[in-house]
């Protein structure tokens, strides 16, 4: 919602990962601008909305690095309007859209069309441009024209089997000074794997995807980055070995950032015993060792950000055998409550560590300025109630799709309000 009035948040817990603030105090908004922070009171002239901050959190709005829109081409999964509503309901004021639409975002006209379509949205959409034409083949997209049209960066949102092409892509992108997001997977080693290769994959009778597929994918990309010096973002890191390789790369000052899909922080390969098709991801859920390593990597700033990777599918598309179901799940309305309930409330992550991974660092990965919670700044805030319980149902979700493991489950934590001036 757009704020054009006056609000006084009284004795509310304020989180600001940029300044390291986590304290209970007062905050005053006047016409959508932060004008006062502190324990002093505001004289009420009858035109101020006073909000009791008991058990509530006020913090910078969230930012997602990459998610999918159904529109154009797959409007039955998600429209740009429903995507905006889901993002607002989840506390996100900014959202990266992957180029996997139909037609693909691989030319300036598509960028212009989506920008015009979303120009009055309360959510700021960042558009990723395709690296290659139609996200397939070997024809490099007009990267300079896409950059001029206003894309936030480039990605094909899939692994590349041709490393010579990857080198050319990074060389062409280097002078444009925009992030290139790559999926680090060796396709040959991955094969037809649908679950992390382990004793569990054998027990469940599912083809395994070995850890080494990600390790080799990361190592190959890092060698090319060492050569080209092009800034690269590594998407969907899922293994402990992957964390080790990224740590080494950062210690060697390579221009690399990385993100993890939020599901990989909460679930492991044992969960797949239910054969729930909404647990099919690419890369697949890791072992418990992987999960713990990924959480620790966020604390240590090795993996920079948590991605929603919102991937909507219809009921019919997802209601097939586990090995045949398309990969991915929705998450915009679920990520903050579930990460807070399972990682922050349990003491695994601090509130500021979680918020840093969902707000400050995603913008850092996109070369954008952070959201400031300071006097004089326009408000871009989320009001969150960590104690509010609700049931995840199709009618409760703003997303048109409901492909999630948590469907029909009760969870704790709800975004009350997003304030975006």
Query: Which residues are annotated as catalytic?
Result: 309
- Determine the distance from the C-alpha atom of residue 233 to the mean position of all C-alpha atoms in its chain, rounded to a whole number: 13
Q: Report phi then psi at 288, rounded to 5.
A: -65, -35
Residue 198 DSSP code: S
* Tokens 């006047």 found at: 30
The beta strands (E) that lie in 210-334 are given as 232-234, 256-261, 305-307
Pairing of strands 57-60, 380-391: antiparallel
- Can you tell me the distance from the alpha carbon of 77 to that of 327, in angstroms, rounded to the nearest whole number? 14
* Tokens 């969150």 found at: 384
Residue 360 DSSP code: I
What is the maximum alpha-carbon separation in the chain?
69
**Of 34, 95, 33, which is closest to residue 61 (Cα–Cα)?**
95
Residue 384 DSSP code: E
Beta bridge partners of 22: 15
| C-alpha torsion sign, points 232, 233, 236, 240 | positive
- Can you tell me the distance from the alpha carbon of 365 to that of 347, in angstroms, rounded to the nearest whole number? 26
Q: Report phi then psi at 307, rounded to 5.
A: -100, 140
Helix H, strand E, coil C: the string for 121-172 is CCCEEEEEECCEHHHCCCCECCHHHHHHHCCCEEECCCCCCCHHHHHHHHHH
Enumerate residues 6+ apart whose C-beta is below 8 A from 395: none
The helix/strand/coil state of 316 is: helix
* Both structure tokens of 270: 């044992």
Helix H, strand E, coil C: the string for 26-95 is EEEEECCEEEEEECCCCCCCCCEEEEECCCCEEEECEEEEEECCCCCCCCCCCCHHHHHHHHHHCCEEEE
* Tokens 């006056």 found at: 6
């Amino acid at each position: 919602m757009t704020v054009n009035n006056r609000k006084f948040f009284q004795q509310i817990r304020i989180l600001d990962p940029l300044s390291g603030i986590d304290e209970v105090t007062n905050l005053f908004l006047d016409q959508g601008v932060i004008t006062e922070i502190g324990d002093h009171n505001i004289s009420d002239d009858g035109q101020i909305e006073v909000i009791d901050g008991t058990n509530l959190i006020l913090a910078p709005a969230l930012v997602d690095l990459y998610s999918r829109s159904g529109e154009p081409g797959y409007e039955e999964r998600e429209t740009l309007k429903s995507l905006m509503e889901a993002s607002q309901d989840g506390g996100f004021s900014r959202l990266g859209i992957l180029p996997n639409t139909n037609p693909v975002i691989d030319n300036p006209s598509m960028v212009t069309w989506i920008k015009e379509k979303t120009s009055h949205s309360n959510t700021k959409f960042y558009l990723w441009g395709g690296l290659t034409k139609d996200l397939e083949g070997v024809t490099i997209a007009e990267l300079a024209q896409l950059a001029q049209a206003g894309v936030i960066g480039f990605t094909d949102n899939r692994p590349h089997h041709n490393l010579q092409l990857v080198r050319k892509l990074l060389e062409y992108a280097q002078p444009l000074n925009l992030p290139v997001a790559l999926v680090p997977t060796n396709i040959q080693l991955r094969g037809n794997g649908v679950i992390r290769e382990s004793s569990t994959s054998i027990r469940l009778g599912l083809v395994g995807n070995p850890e080494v597929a990600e390790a080799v994918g990361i190592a190959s990309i890092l060698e090319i980055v060492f050569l080209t010096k092009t800034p690269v973002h590594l998407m969907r890191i899922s293994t402990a070995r992957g964390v080790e390789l990224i740590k080494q790369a950062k210690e060697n000052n390579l221009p690399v950032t990385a993100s993890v899909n939020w599901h990989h922080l909460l679930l492991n390969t044992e969960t797949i015993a239910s054969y729930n098709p909404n647990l099919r991801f690419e890369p697949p859920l890791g072992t418990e060792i992987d999960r713990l390593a990924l959480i620790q990597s966020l604390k240590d700033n090795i993996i920079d950000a948590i991605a929603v990777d919102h991937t909507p599918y219809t009921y019919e598309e997802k209601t097939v055998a586990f090995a045949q179901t398309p990969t991915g799940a929705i998450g915009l309305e679920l990520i903050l409550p579930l990460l807070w309930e399972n990682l922050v409330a349990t003491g695994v992550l601090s509130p500021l560590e979680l918020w840093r991974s969902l707000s400050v660092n995603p913008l850092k990965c996109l070369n954008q300025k952070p959201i400031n919670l300071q006097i004089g700044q326009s408000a871009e805030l989320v009001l969150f109630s960590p104690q509010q319980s609700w049931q995840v149902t199709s009618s409760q979700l703003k997303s048109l799709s409901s492909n999630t493991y948590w469907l029909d489950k009760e969870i704790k934590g709800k975004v009350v309000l997003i304030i975006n001036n």
